[in-house]
Structure 1
Amino acid sequence: MPHVTPTAELDVRFSDPKASAADWSAAAAQLRDAEVFWLTTVRPDGRPHVTPLIAVWQDDALHFCTGPGERKAKNLRENREVVLTTGAPSLSEGHDVVVEGEAVRVTDPAALGVLADAYVRKYGPDWTFTVGDGVFVHEAGEALVFRVAPRTVFGFAKGDPFGQTRWRFTQ
């Protein structure tokens, strides 16, 4: 699958005058390498739900999994719009990345097999999944798998110079 190169824009309202739009390849590398993400979903009554989880960057999208009875899975049955966030726990250095998009179920056995391999490569053998009927299977049970292709991504450079870049994707 070809890699997507989004359009980058520096938001001068929230950026140092010395800043320039960040390079997408650095943000994509951070999404690939980050170990922990924060997933925001919306409860049926409209309240937000935020939880940490692990995810893999594969084929220009973030992928995560969850048990079918977990709050995030229940929320996604009603509203598939999500935000995934990762970053540095510092105010003066590093980069934060915020991905907005739609969480779409992955059920294709071949795609699930590729993602299962990606989890092991990134997180080690404790995260070994087999492929069941449209799901991951693990000793703890079944997990639904979701793909979030970015619609919009925000990058927040911290330190000197600080800056806010927005990348827009054409889907």
Structure 2
Amino acid sequence: MTNTTIETHNLDQYGSAALQWTRAQDLLARESASKDVPFFLNTVRPDGRPHSVGIGAVWFENALYFVSGPGTRKSRNLAENPACTVSVRLTGMDLVLEGDARRITDESTLDRIAARYREAGWPAEREGAAFTAPYTAPSGGPPPWYVYRISLCAAHAVATTEPGGATRWTFS
């Protein structure tokens, strides 16, 4: 999110200050890639119906990345329409990220993301423009797995611990 303008909208109706985007980023950096933190990707099927599935995601270099087999419903949906949301419950914050998911094929970027996943305990390796590993999530499809990056356009958060609040951020 280099050179990004962030507009903050306080949604709290009880007088709490707007949440800081850095609070969400810090939580994402600390808690993503954990098997104990549930991320849910929401895409749109070609007929317009929603599709939601759990994913393993990692916040890295100020962006959210995830993997998916090319034949999975989520990958097929993203090939038709990259618009998506990702929902996650972090410590003290429920967060929804909105944006477009695009496949990453740059080998040096893939190498850095694979290293981040390995640090978190998943033994991902780059093979060409995708990842392989001895295992992945049951819904990931067979290897190789594509790597996607979400370009954020907005995010919403509700604090579940003090300091409380509800905030929407837009990114341009």
Same fold (TM over 0.5): yes
Give me the whole-angstrom Cα distance separating, in 2, the residues matched to 1:156 and 1:55.
20
Which residue does 1:81 correspond to in 2?
A: 83
Which region of structure 1 is more displaced relative to structure 2, 44-53 or 160-169? 160-169
Structure 1 residue 111, shift from structure 2 partner: 0.4
Give me the whole-angstrom Cα distance separating, in 1, the residues matched to 2:4 and 2:116.
19
TM-score (norm 2): 0.84
1:38-117 superposed matches below 5 A = 38-87=40-89, 94-117=92-115
Which residue does 1:24 correspond to in 2?
A: 21
Which residue does 2:146 correspond to in 1?
A: 144
In structure 2, runs of 5+ residues without a counterpart are 135-141
Which residue does 1:8 correspond to in 2?
A: 8
The secondary structure found in structure 1 opposite 2:167 is strand
The secondary structure found in structure 1 opposite 2:113 is helix
1:117-156 superposed matches below 5 A = 117-122=115-120, 124=121, 127-139=122-134, 140-156=142-158
State, as a whole percentage, how many aligned pairs show the same letter: 35
Give me the whole-angstrom Cα distance separating, in 2, the residues matched to 1:2 and 1:153.
16
Which region of structure 1 is more displaced relative to structure 2, 157-166 or 32-41? 157-166
Which region of structure 1 is more displaced relative to structure 2, 27-36 or 68-77? 27-36
Give me the whole-angstrom Cα distance separating, in 1, the residues matched to 2:123 and 2:163.
41
Aligned pair count?
160
TM-score (norm 1): 0.85
* RMSD (CA atoms): 2.0
Please list the CA deviations of residues 82-110 of structure 1 after superposition, one character each: whole Å capped at 9, or x if unmatched. 1011015xxxx931010000001100110
The secondary structure found in structure 2 opposite 1:28 is helix
Structure 1 residue 128, shift from structure 2 partner: 1.3
